[in-house]
Chains A and B, each alone.
Chain A
């Protein structure tokens, strides 16, 4: 069965600093990977997704992620944090075979941006 693990339930960075949120996947078949963001009292919003077209994926709000098969990772980065980036971030996976369509989510990482 496929799964994702997010290392670090809470991450704090200073405004202007690099943001790095970690996600590792476990899947016996090629995965499709997603990063979603959730602002307080809101639903989830897609940041970016990996669908095998390119290993480096650029998303909204200056975020990007790189799929590394050798490391089974899909870490999310942003060069310079902004106060508005404070939110909870979820990594998710969908397996690429069968009829399943549901997202399997990691446990989430709460990002705090310090002034």
Chain B
């Protein structure tokens, strides 16, 4: 497809389990971003990739959160030992060159529920 895709669309897990969330950016987009949307915190930045490198990881809330990007394309966000406060919608976005004013195109998100 032409847009950003994310999988799964919904994920229910038990507290303490690890989860992996996947993002497929728009083909040719060099920059990729992860955000989290929750009722209590609103929309928060997590991490930004330029190519396969992550120059800005400042938004990752704890060392349980990690992300990687391979081949300058697909990215995976991993949450280890999930906690109930990790429940949120995880949004991925991509932009063509990662410029400051580049439009970020968002995927539909993955809704994570931690029981």
> Which residues of A are in contact with B by a Cβ distance under 8 Å?
32, 36, 41-46, 49, 51, 90, 92, 94, 96, 99-108
Residue pair B109, A43 in contact (C-beta under 8 Å):
yes
CB distance from B28 to the nearest CB of A (A): 17
Compute how far the CA of A41 lies from the CA of B111 in the bound complex, rounded to whole angstroms: 10
Residue pair A44, B91 in contact (C-beta under 8 Å):
yes
Asked, given contacts A32-B101, A41-B108, A43-B106, whether A101 binds B43 with beta carbons under 8 Å apart, the answer is no
Compute how far the CA of A96 lies from the CA of B45 in the bound complex, rounded to whole angstroms: 17
Compute how far the CA of A23 lies from the CA of B108 in the bound complex, rounded to whole angstroms: 24
Residue pair B101, A49 in contact (C-beta under 8 Å):
yes
Residue pair A102, B48 in contact (C-beta under 8 Å):
yes
Residues B69-100 near A (CB distance < 8 A): 91, 93, 98-100
Residue pair A103, B108 in contact (C-beta under 8 Å):
no
CB distance from B73 to the nearest CB of A (A): 18
Asked, given contacts A41-B108, A43-B108, A43-B109, whether A101 binds B42 with beta carbons under 8 Å apart, the answer is no
- Residues from chain A with a CB closer than 8 A to the CB of B42 are 105-108
